[in-house]
Every structure is written in C-alpha cells, then in structure tokens.
A and B are shown apart, each in its own frame.
Chain A
C-alpha cells in the first residue's frame, strides 16, 4: 500500500511532439465542455425538471416565476459541487504526489476525521445548529489535524510512510471520540448522521462565500507546486540534486491539501473516493506529469461529483440519495477493479 509510484518520466513530456501536447490540450478543453454541460444538467434535473430555456431564463432573466425560484435553489448546490469537486480533485492529486502513494486520499491523512470530530464537538458542546456555523469548526478541525499529522510525521524529515501512519493513527483515536459523543448525545447523533455521509443538499450562498477564498488560495498553491512535486517524484536525492527544496515543498503541499480538503469537507461533509479516483484515472492517460494531472483532476473531479449528485437525485425521485453515498458506491468497485488489474508490484 505504501510503495513508491513508478519513476517519473519527465523527459517524455519535455520532448513530447507538439501534436501530443495538442491532443492533451484538446482533451482538457473537451473535459471543460462536459463540465459546463453537467453544470446546466445539474440545474435542470431534479424533482421538478426544467427545460434548458427555463434554466437560461432563471439564470439571466429572473422574473420570480416558479422555475426561476427552482433555478436559484439548485444554483447554490451546483456551484458548491463545482467548488468541492475542484478542491477534492486537486488535494487528492497533491497528496498522491506528496506521499508518493497512488492510493493516498484526503481521508488517509486524517483530515476528514479531524473535521468530523470538530463538527460533533460544535454540535454537542457549543450548541451550534446551522451549517454555516459548522463550517468554521470543520475547517479548524481539518487544519489542526493537518498540522498535527505533519508534526507527528516528523516535520523536517517527514517521509510518505510516516505521514500516512500518523494520519491513520489520529483518525483512529478521533473516531473513538466521535462515537462516544454520538452515543451519549442523541441530538448530536440526529445532526451528525446527515453530515457524515457528505451531501450538497444544504448548500447556500453563505456557505459558498465562506469557503471560496480558501479553495481559491489552495488551488493556486496546488497548481504552482506541480514542478517541485514532479522533481520530488524522482526520489528525495535526485530532487535535491535538481534544486527542489524538499521541506518547503512538503510543508506547502500539506498546506494546500489541508486548505482544499478542509474547505470542501467543511462545506459538504466528508466525501470519499473523489480525491482518490480522479487523479488515478487521469494519470492513466496523461502519464505522471503533474502539470497535466493537476488541471485535468481539477476539471474531471467536479464532473464526477456533479454526475454523482445528479444520479443520486434520479435514482430515488422525488427523494434523493446523498452524493457521498453515490461516490462511495461507484468508487468502491472502481477501486477494487484498479487493485485487481494492476500488478501487485506496482501497488
């Protein structure tokens, strides 16, 4: 599980013929188009189906008709799906590069569990009841655990294995705490059971505005880290010889991943597998160059998240299945297939 990914083949991209770069560029453009279509579909599909014309009317010519109100309601969750998807995809890609483990995932570093523990504390001990109130707690919990994992993992000489182990251990301890609170406090259980599955249902513009700055800063940081992380993929010694500053890159990568994943988890609860699956699939057609993996992950993750959200609305009409459940139910089998297909030595 904690084995180095295949060695970086940077030379391939450096000398890649122009047409190959053009194909990748076209692919990225195509992915963006798919994402735009899904954004529209996410507003149109639901318990009250809307036509594309009605969506257009609601977005750009709001006159307060019933359709316009529905568009307004669905716009917030669609935008949150977009933001959370970008954040989860980028943080997954950064973490996989940082820990040099193709199976790394924001859950692995304990970030999800940190946010969950903070939210349950907020509900049970501070009496917070609104989603916009949870956000800060979730964020603080994620950040605190991120820092703690980094410190326990050995700050200056953190290795991928140590970071993963520290994350698992802290998650385990926090899980016990989470269960203790939920067993003793029925009110907290009533709220937490909906929060922990991960959902876009309760999205509103206030939440969006709260998490947007963090996701923006995290995304810029993550995209800027592509080059040093590329160097680090070749191993610490080679990376140092190439002039990468290992400690700084590690610290910044942890910061970017924590910002992104913490913000996404704060806004919609822990959503698993998006951050794991998308960078994995992307790597299979872009190769190991993070300068391509990161943008592709940022576009394709919201595609997956929105598609899962729409599917969740369709399978149980007029009720819906939370997006976190849909991603896990789709993601689990895909993950198992990946594990079965790859040679064991590669894992």
Chain B
C-alpha cells in the first residue's frame, strides 16, 4: 500500500500488489483470448492473430478472426467479468464466500425462464435469451423480497436463495421431463453454459450494461468495504446501509442475469473468481477490478481448454468450469484444513 500525494493536497492510495495482480490477470485474459481465437478447425498462429486484430492480416484470416471468432471471445470475456463482478458483490453483501449466484438460485431461475421458452414455445435463440433474462431478474428480486425483514441479512439471503434454488431445480426437472428429446438435448447444452455460436448480438447489450453498471459499482465500492465490518459499524461511519445494499444487489442481479442470458449458467466462475482474486491480492474488500479480470481470464481459458482437449464445440465451457471449480473447492478444503483454519 502506498499513498501518492500531489502538491495541491490531493492524495490517492495505491495498493501496489493489487495493481500488479490486476495487470497480470488482464494480460493473462488477453493472451488466452489470442490463443482461443487461433484455435478451431482452421488454426491460426498467435502472431497472425495479433497482426489481424491490429488490421494487417490477409483477407481470409481477417474474416475468420474478426467476423467469426472475435465476437465469441468477447462474449466470453464479458460474461466472465460480469459473472465474477456479480459474484463478488453477492459474496460481499451476504458476507459469505458461498453466497454466490450459483448457490442462490439465480442461475436456476434463469434456466427456468430459458427452459420455458425452449420446451413450451420452441423459441428462437433471442427468445431463449429473453426468457433467461426475465427468469433471472424475477428470481433475483423474489429472493430479495422474501429475504427482506426490516432489512436484508446475509445469512437469510443465502438461505432463502438455497430454498429458491431447490424449487427452481424442481421446476427445471419437470420441464425437462415434459420435453421431447431434441428439445431436452438443446436445453441441456444451454444449461451447461456454452459460448458456441455467440456473436455480436450478445456482445452489444453486455457491453452497454457493463459500461453503465461498473462505474455505479465502483462508486459504491467504498461503502461496500465499510459494510463488511457489520451494519452497525458501517452506519456509524456514515454509510447508508440499506440503500447501498439495494443498489449493489440490483447491479449484481442485472449483471448475473445478463451474463446468463448470453452464455447460459456457466458454473463456478462467480463463486471462485472473487475468492481467487482475493487470495492473490491479499487485500480485504470485494477486489472489484481483480475479480473481473480473474473471471474473464478463467472463462476464456476454460473455453480454450475445452476446445483443445475435446475438439471444437464438443464440450460446453460450463462443464470445464464446473469440474475445475469443484476440484478448486476440494483443494481449498484440504489446504484450509492443513492450515488449521476450519
């Protein structure tokens, strides 16, 4: 931690370790993106990818890179960042590392919306995305209202979310049994979370949403840090507790629902990215920038792994993040036990 002072009396605190971590993660995410663009049925060396992205490639490569693969990678980066930011906010608000949107049933709610569109209306991709967005938003605000009792308390939010998640899982199971096998297969791929066939149509709304919400979240980052010390301390320090929580929850729900409607409920990014970022920066608080870069890097790397290991578009990215996330949790368990913390 270092303080920068100007002559005019302005000062800025700079956490050097955190800044380095953000820079490294950002580079990692971009490097993984370049690799991912070069991967597929037609392989392109990384140097050519970079040259094409800068506008100096040959026309054939330009078509493949800019029109086919770049939007997909951008969706991956944006979805990863949005999920991680939503997860970081939820975890900070519920003061619980397990309080991520996966556990709270937002993913299940969005899935229910998407399944209704797929199974009952055989909807197009756009309709499915709209259904998922609506499902996620309704579930998110339902959880908030049900958990409201003279304010929202962290544990109650998590527990209400777990109950909601179970109900939504049952609804999804019912819809799956009602579907014919073609719809069911389509629904399963969607439920795993996949970047297959995503393009500029998904990039634009996500980009706009992130451009609006990230500044909002950043202005509330300081009150959020205070909130982690407990409601009483925070309000004594002048934080408007309920308003902060409401604004941030709305932002988190919007981000998660939008990301889910773009790529499906990709598991565990929201749970693991903020935790990993926190361990790397070793600083308390939600670590917003580091979490977002970590989420983007994780998602794109996972997609690259799934493409390299199993061939193009055989295995949705959500499956890879699910397995990696589970293994990460186990490792966390073993290491925490060795350190004697649990």
Tell me the A residues contacting B by CB distance below 8 Å.
1, 103, 152, 154, 159, 161-162, 165-166, 168-177, 179-180, 182-184, 186, 189-190, 193-194, 196-197, 272-273, 321-322, 324-325, 328-329, 331-333, 335-336, 339-340, 344, 347
Contact = CB atoms under 8 A, between A and B. Distances in A.
A190 B173 contact: no
A154 B340 CA distance: 12
B243 interface: no
Contact of A332 (B98, B170, B318, B332): B170
A197 B173 contact: yes
Interface stretch (B29-37, B50-58, B188-196, B233-241): B188-196
B172 to A, nearest CB: 9
A61 B324 CA distance: 59
B173 A196 contact: yes
A72 to B, nearest CB: 25
B330 A170 contact: yes
A100 B164 CA distance: 23
Given A173-B323, A183-B315, A335 B166 contact: yes
Contact of A336 (B160, B188, B322, B329): B160
B318 A179 contact: yes
Which of A197, A272, A321 has the most chain B CB atoms closer than 10 A to its own CB? A197
B177 A197 contact: yes
B329 A179 contact: no
B2 interface: no
Contact of B177 (A170, A194, A328): A194
Interface residues of B, number: 52
Interface of B is mostly: helix
B327 interface: yes
B149 interface: yes
B177 A154 contact: no
B167 interface: yes
Interface in B294-342: 314-316, 318-327, 329-330, 332-334, 337, 342
A86 to B, nearest CB: 22
A344 B153 contact: yes
Interface string B180-193: 01001100110110
Contacts, number: 148
29 contacts: A1-B159, A103-B159, A152-B330, A162-B333, A169-B330, A169-B333, A172-B322, A172-B325, A172-B329, A173-B327, A173-B330, A176-B323, A176-B326, A180-B319, A183-B315, A183-B316, A184-B314, A186-B185, A190-B184, A193-B173, A194-B177, A197-B170, A328-B166, A328-B170, A329-B171, A332-B164, A336-B159, A336-B160, A347-B155
B55 to A, nearest CB: 37
A115 to B, nearest CB: 15
A320 B335 CA distance: 47
Contacts of A344: 153, 155-156
Contacts of A177: 323
Nearest to B330: A169
A1 B176 CA distance: 31
B174 A336 contact: no
Given A152-B330, A340-B149, A344-B156, A183 B164 contact: no
A249 B221 CA distance: 47
B53 to A, nearest CB: 31
B173 A170 contact: no
Contact of A180 (B96, B315, B337): B315
A296 B121 CA distance: 45
Given A1-B158, A183-B189, A194-B177, A328 B169 contact: yes
Given A183-B316, A194-B177, A322-B177, A176 B146 contact: no
Which of A170, A193, A197 has the most chain B CB atoms closer than 10 A to its own CB? A193
Contacts of B159: 1, 103, 335-336, 339, 347
Contacts of A328: 166-167, 169-170
Nearest to B157: A339
Which of A1, A180, A182 has the most chain B CB atoms closer than 10 A to its own CB? A180
